[in-house]
Amino acid sequence: MKNIMQNRFQSIVIGVIGLLMMFLVTACAGVTGTNATNTGGNTITGAVVSVNTAQHSAILNVNGQQVTVSGLTDQQVTILQAQAGKTYTIQVTQGSGNSYTINPNSTPELNETNTPQANQTERPNATETTNPTEPQNSLEQGNISFSGKVQSVDNNRIVVSMPSGQTLSMSINSLTDLSDFNGVLPSTGTLVKVKATANTNGSFTASSVKPGTPGDLDQNVVDYEGVTTSAVGSDRVLHFKVATKSYSFVIGSTSDLSDFNNNAQSIGNNLQVKVEVQFNGATGTVIKAANSNS
């Protein structure tokens, strides 16, 4: 009887030790990064929990653990503030523990249901249907046009550098105009001029991809079409959004405001506008603002 009790006690002890070892291995594993298919860096994917504007950082819930991503730009902080609970993928460099820093010239990407397929550059089959969540009226959701170099490409997605130094990831579908490239997506490093239509979930779809011309004067200019989110005040800052993405730029003293009687403060809230922004490095200045129907 005594031997039986000892054997049972030993079995219980061994089982408890095994459970403790499994718990320790799981806890030490922390948050595991994955290799980004777009740029080769490490990525983390998680839901936005909170944003610290003063520290330019955000807390994400990644696999049940909260991680901090720092090094965000003013624009990225503004965007993520309005995206609490939504899942983003961010290219990062890991610091200590669950602390990360966003990689330079990268931007948080809102997760979509479509998974890109790698190492294919042919245009999708013409029988492919568009995502039902994508808008058919580009004016309603807005769009962005700019010139930049292709950073990465596959058969469902293209990533292009912007004059601000950031990148924009766009999905490709059967309606994307690739006629100037004979229906084939351009290779990495190609200078292109793109028009991206905003989707209701904050992602973008490439409406057209055309060859860029080296030396074009508009290579530092981004054309936005969206809706103002507040009236312009004495600070001459224009606040607007394209779908779910928010932007804020100072209106230059020589900006073309002819649609608004050359008076910045006559630009009101909830107006559909076309905005031309010229970038000097990461800093953008409005050089023209007009009504979308003009």
The three state secondary structure string of 207-258 is EEEEECCCCCHHHHEEEEEEEECCCCCCCCEEEEEECCEEEEEEEEEEEECH
Instruction: Give the mean pLDDT of 126-138.
Output: 35
DSSP 3-state of 288: strand
Q: How confident is the model at residue 39 (pLDDT cuts 50, 70, 90)?
A: very low
Evaluate if residue 188 carries a pLDDT over 80: yes
Confidence class for position 129, pLDDT limits 50, 70, 90: very low
CA distance linking residue 17 with residue 272, whole number of Å = 64
| Token pair listed for 170 | 């766009």
- A 10 A CB-CB count for 269 gives 12
pLDDT of 137 reads 40
Query: Which residue in the block uniquely carries the two structure tokens 């993405």?
Result: 245
Residue 15: DSSP 8-state: H
pLDDT value at residue 64: 78
Please report the pLDDT score of residue 18 as a whole number. 62
Average pLDDT estimate for 16-45: 54
Helices (H) and strands (E) in the chain, counts: 3, 17
CB of 124 closer than 8 Å to CB of 156: yes
Selection from 283, 33, 44 nearest residue 166 by Cα:
283
Q: What is the pLDDT of residue 96?
A: 86
Residue 4 has pLDDT above 60, yes or no: no
Top pLDDT among 186 and 14 is at 186
How many angstroms separate the Cα of 166 from the Cα of each of 61, 76, 82, 229, 250?
A: 24, 10, 19, 23, 19
Neighbours of 225 (CB within 10 A): 22
Residue type, 108: P
Is the predicted pLDDT of residue 12 greater than 70, yes or no? no
Query: What pLDDT, in 10s, does the model give residues 71-95?
Result: 998 888 878 877 777 888 898 898 8
The pLDDT value given to residue 231 = 94
Is the pLDDT at 20 greater than 70? The verdict is no
Q: Is the full-model pTM beyond 0.85?
A: no
Per the prediction, the chain carries an average pLDDT of 79
Amino acid at 125: N
Least reliable range by pLDDT among 118-122, 163-167, 253-257: 118-122
Neighbours of 48 (CB within 10 A): 22
Quick: pLDDT tens for 199-219.
Answer: 888 889 999 999 998 877 678
Say if residue 218 is exposed, middle or buried (CB neighbours under 10 Å; 0-12, 13-18, 19+): middle
Total residues belonging to the chain: 294
Residue among 192, 207, 134 nearest 162 (CA): 192
**Over residues 30-52, mean pLDDT:** 63
The average pLDDT across 259-288 equals 94
- Note the pLDDT tens digit of each residue in 56-71: 899 888 887 888 999 9
Q: Which candidate, 42, 158, 143, 47, places its Cα nearest to that of 101?
A: 42
